[in-house]
Chains A and B, each alone.
Chain A
Amino acid sequence: MKKYLSVFKISFQGEFVYKLNFIMWRARNVLQIFLVFFLWDAVFSQPNRVIFGYDRSKILTYVFGLLIVRAFVLSARAVEVAGEISRGDLSNYLLKPVNYFRYWFTRDISSKALNLAFATIEVVVLYYVLKPPFFIQTNPTILLSFLASIILAVFIFFVLLFMTSTVPFWMPEIAWGAQFLVVTIVVEFLSGALFPIDVLPVTIQNILYLTPFPYLIFFPLQVYLGKIEGLLIVKGLLISFCWAIALRSLLKIVWEKGLRVYQAHGR
């Protein structure tokens, strides 16, 4: 445990090495929120309008919630794993007395902590600049469920990212390509990180609910907004939990198979 605490501290300090990079990355996140905010602001220009089950305050809270939930769930240092496998740098870790998954999970948590801190400041600043109507959830049960859904989302994303990162075991040249396809495109759109999934027709929504993606961003925000209540929250949390277990088991199999074919290219 002590060594992972050290990894956390070093990784956290490492985030400040390339300050400009980090600031630019956060600036880009804010720009993306501007796009989504003004889009929904235009759609809900009439204050009492209700579309797709949202009123103005709930949809704008969804937009602000995106900034926070994205910062916590989707920010990860483990994006570097694919590159380490394709360059053969994985060998360094296999020789060390560290659990490779715990090592990267710890680094992810340090990145998430920093991103969450900045996202919170950004939300406060943007709140005063844009002055949106805001929905504050006060029900403690719902807030606890929201927290549980976030924890599960973090775990599911970590496993999904790691699964994608195993592609270079078999095809070292497409380390970045696989991540671009899965993390940048599929997760971004199907998790609700760009728009709420309930904009889509019910049939498509029902298909999406069978995948792990909506449980990363959309489901936690639906819980916070109170759009899902009672047994539906329990059902959603159970599905998230099942996905977390299933993906973890699958990752274990794929990782072991990958290690068997790993040739430490470039070392």
Chain B
Amino acid sequence: MFIKRIHYYLNLWLLMSKNSFSVWLTQRRQILIFLSGKLLRFGFFLAFLYFLVKGSDNLAGYSVNQTVFFFLTFNVVDILGQFLFREVYRFRPLIVSGDFDLVLTKPMNALFRVLMGGADVIDLITIPPLFVAVYYVGRLLAPSPAQIIYYFFLILNGLIIAMAFHIAVLSLGIITLEVDHTIMIYRDLTNMGRFPIEIYKQPLKGFLTYLVPVGVMISLPAKAMMGLISPTGILASFALGSVMFILSLRFWNFALTKYTSASS
């Protein structure tokens, strides 16, 4: 039964992603411009980071390769998150217009539809070269097989936390009708994970570790690859990811009870 359900939603996701890509492919010039912009931003930031750490010997004790690996790990979580959860950015019009009613009446989990209903083709294009860069720089850190496995599971955990945040943004959107700025503030906060969390001072460091756990989402996987994390730390981060995911689902269920269907 469970396998059948997974298969059903996987097919739905493939269908919705295909539709989303078809829409984008009618705007080829837009894709080209946004893709160029994203690649330029990535290239500029990488160059800056390289020259900065090279000129100053290290950043909070991390070498050039390690700092670049933090940045690449940030991009893995950020881009995969945007690729999977892009539909969140289109949620507000549904709520404001009351068209969310149409989602609620369909034979599909409404959260699944508004969270994962529109995969982003531009992010999909950037994922393969990013993985190649992670592989290349990751190899320079000479990790053990165990460290590589920890890295993959912690990235997965980071994505679960990212999903929890996106669900919270959707829930807040139902209650307050505000989505755009909330999601951008979430992204600004995660942007702080471009650098090792050690550069921040208290209370910001505590905030980024426990409240908006950018450290767990981004810094921890990178540190696991460098062999700087204990098994207890890894278990604690999985526990945090699970708790955040459960809390976000509860918040979503609560938010649904506040939906007024106004304007529909």
Contact = CB atoms under 8 A, between A and B. Distances in A.
A42 B48 contact: no
B185 A173 contact: no
B44 interface: yes
A225 to B, nearest CB: 18
B51 A201 contact: yes
A180 B188 contact: no
A7 interface: no
A134 to B, nearest CB: 18
Contact of A41 (B41, B45, B51, B201): B201
Contacts of B185: 24, 27-28, 31
Given A21-B181, A177-B34, A189-B41, A199 B200 contact: no
Interface in B142-160: none
Interface in A218-243: none
A201 B51 CA distance: 8
Contact of A34 (B33, B36, B192): B192
A243 B48 CA distance: 26
Interface stretch (B54-62, B106-114, B165-173, B248-256): B54-62
B195 interface: yes
Chain A binding surface, main DSSP class: helix
Contact of A24 (B34, B181, B189): B181
Nearest to A51: B56
Assign chain B's interface to a size class: 20 to 34
Contacts of A190: 44
Nearest to A167: B33
A39 B204 contact: no
Interface in B68-82: none
Contacts of B27: 173
B5 interface: no
Given A185-B40, A199-B48, A35 B60 contact: no
Contact of B195 (A39, A185, A186): A39
A189 B56 contact: no
Contacts of A177: 29-30, 33-34, 37
B184 interface: yes
Chain B binding surface, main DSSP class: helix
B191 interface: yes
Contacts of A25: 181
Interface in A150-181: 171, 173-174, 177-178, 180-181
A186 B189 CA distance: 22
A38 B45 CA distance: 16
A184 interface: yes
Contacts of A35: 191-192, 194-195
A95 interface: no
B199 A42 contact: yes
B78 to A, nearest CB: 14
A20 B181 contact: yes
A183 to B, nearest CB: 10
Interface string B169-212: 00000000010010011001101101100111100100000000
A177 B194 CA distance: 24
B37 A180 contact: yes
B47 interface: yes
B124 interface: no
Contact of A181 (B36, B51, B194): B36
Given A31-B188, A34-B192, A174-B33, A42 B181 contact: no
A137 interface: no
B52 interface: yes
A188 B75 CA distance: 19
B188 A200 contact: no
19 contacts: A20-B178, A20-B181, A24-B181, A28-B181, A28-B185, A28-B188, A35-B194, A35-B195, A38-B200, A42-B199, A51-B55, A174-B29, A180-B34, A185-B37, A195-B48, A199-B52, A200-B47, A200-B48, A201-B51
Given A177-B30, A194-B48, 12 more contacts: A31-B192, A32-B188, A35-B195, A38-B195, A38-B201, A41-B199, A42-B59, A174-B30, A177-B37, A181-B36, A185-B41, A199-B48
Q: What are the nearest 10 A-B pairs in CB distance?
A: A24-B181, A42-B199, A177-B33, A189-B44, A31-B188, A181-B37, A185-B37, A38-B200, A43-B56, A42-B60
Interface of B: 27, 29-30, 33-34, 36-37, 40-41, 44-45, 47-48, 51-52, 55-56, 59-60, 178, 181, 184-185, 188-189, 191-192, 194-195, 198-201, 204
